[in-house]
């Protein structure tokens, strides 16, 4: 058999005796709740108005990069034009940073910030 220290024997004894007490029985372990996943904090992607870029360029970029429908992209573009800024989406940080960089390649201003 195994060479077990006295401390280990005290720990193992209850387990061994409970599994050996009944012929052919199996030890039942207590149920453990699955680990809880934390929701990643969201990041807001904000489209800012500018007086340089064409309305259709902005709308096409919103459709392409933010993956919004044409009607939603037009709505967000109008909102940014009229109020100065429009919320495009809330997503995880890496995607928000990617979208920001994509808009910058077209000279459009998009910022990201932690969502409230």
Residue pair 114/46 in contact (Cβ under 8 Å)? The answer is: no
Count the alpha carbons within 13 Å of 42 in the hemisphere toward its beta carbon.
Answer: 10
The DSSP H or E segment spanning 81 is helix 70-83
Query: What pLDDT digit, counting tens, does each position of 26-74 carry?
Result: 778 888 888 887 777 899 999 999 989 999 999 999 999 999 999 999 9
Domains of the chain, earliest start first: 43-114 (3.30.1390.10)
CB contact set of 53 (below 8 Å; sequence gap of 6+): 106, 107, 108
pTM of the model: 0.67
């Amino acid at each position: 058999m195994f060479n077990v220290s006295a401390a280990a024997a005290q720990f193992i004894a209850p387990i061994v005796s409970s599994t050996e007490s009944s012929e052919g029985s199996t030890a039942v372990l207590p149920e453990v709740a699955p680990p809880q996943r934390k929701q990643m904090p969201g990041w807001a992607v904000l489209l800012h108005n500018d007086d340089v870029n064409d309305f259709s360029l902005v709308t096409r970029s919103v459709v392409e990069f933010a993956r919004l429908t044409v009607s939603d992209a037009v709505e967000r573009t109008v909102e940014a034009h009229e109020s100065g800024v429009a919320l495009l989406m809330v997503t995880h940080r890496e995607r928000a940073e990617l979208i920001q960089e994509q808009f910058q390649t077209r000279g459009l201003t998009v910022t990201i910030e932690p969502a409230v």
